[in-house]
Structure formats: C-alpha cells, structure tokens
Structure 1
Amino acid sequence: MKKILVKFLLIIFLALLVLPIIVLAADANPLTNLKSAAPELITGDTIYDLTGKIIQALLGFIGVLFIILIIYGGFMWMTAGGDSSKIQKAKDIIIKATIGLVIIMSSYAIVYTIIDQFSS
C-alpha cells in the first residue's frame, strides 16, 4: 500500500512540474481575444449584470463543494465498518452539507431575482 501511495504522489508531483511548461504556450496578450473567447460573459451592459454573473459563479462553485462534501460523507459512512462514532460523524457531514446546499440554492435564487430586477 505504501509503494502505491509513493508512486501516486510521485506522478502527481511530476504532473505539477510539467504544468508551468504548458502555461508558457499561452498568448502574450490574452485580453485581445477576450470577447470572442467568452462572449456570454461580456454581453452585460451594466455593473449589475457583471456583479450578478460573478456572484452566481461563486455560488455555483460553493454548491459543487457541498456536493463533494455529501459524497465524502457517504464514503465515510460506507467505510465506517460498523463504528458508531464514524457513522455519526458521516451523518453529521451529510446533514450539514445538505443544509448548506439548500442555503446556497436559495441564495442563488434570491441573487438571480434581485439582479434580474436591477438589470431590467
């Protein structure tokens, strides 16, 4: 098991070393083609549109994190092996992540409604 972990960490380390080499192939002036690369992000005429899109993107990212936490809690529950303290910890993670996901989804709906009212 230790050899597999060492090999896995070595592969990740080498992949991270190669990553900056890939970045060097980027355009020298990336802002010149910004509108053609992501026209749906540039179409907003007001600051409200831009702010709304940024907030919605952040809330979407946080929502993905809560989904990952729910999956992690499920994994902990499946691997608890009958240990009641681990099962309770996994249940707590799943419940709290579900509550957080509901809050984020509600926030997303509220922000969408407010930004829609301001932008029109």
Structure 2
Amino acid sequence: MRKRANLVGAASHYAMSIAYNMVWPNQPVNGGTNEGVKPVFAFNPYLEGGFDKGTFGIKNALNSGFEYGVQTNCMSCHVFASYNDQNAGPIYSTDQYISTNDPVLFKDFVKTDFLWSIPDHAR
C-alpha cells in the first residue's frame, strides 16, 4: 500500500486504484492461469458497487467466493467487450484471469479490444 499523498482541495476527496492487470502476478494476454495468483480489486463504486450474484455470467476460477461488484476488476470486465449479432447481452465477471482467446467464452463474438463503447453503439 502506498503512503497517502498530501493532496488539498477537491483532489483530497478521491481514491484511485490502478488495474492494468486482472491478477498478480500479471498473466499473458493468452494462455495464463488463475493458479498461484492474487486478485487485484479495482471497481467503480457507482457502477459495480451494487452488483450482486445475479450479475455475473461465468463461474469464477480464481475464487468461487467472488460474487459481488466490490470483488471486480476493470480488466476482468473489459476483456468481455465484444459484439454478437444475435443480440446476446454482455457477460460480466468478478476478478479472475480470463484468456482473450478462450474458445468457449468468445465463440460467435467479435472482440472489440476492451472497448465497451463499440458494442454499445452497434446494438
């Protein structure tokens, strides 16, 4: 944990977490594992904070106890940014490693490079 910065004014009311990786130690884009890694939680409390068990569409391979929005990670969600012309809704996941070339999870989907804005506007 880093020491808190001595910020003043409006900046002192914000907290930030960096989550360029799904788990630690970081795994490769394809072919990584959930074995021997630790979660990296980073979430937007106004968006994911209220998510419950019913929000997440896949089983968590890292920890089956991860079932809520406060146990999410930016990259574990954005890895699912993709489009399917069958109008299949998005898949959400709590924090775990997800390989971008998973043949089951991404079957019949066009991936949009972690960008939700593309499939959101294509619907």
TM-score, normalization: structure 1?
0.25
- TM-score, normalised by the number of residues in structure 2: 0.24
Q: Which has the higher helix share?
A: 1
Structure number having the greater strand percentage: 2
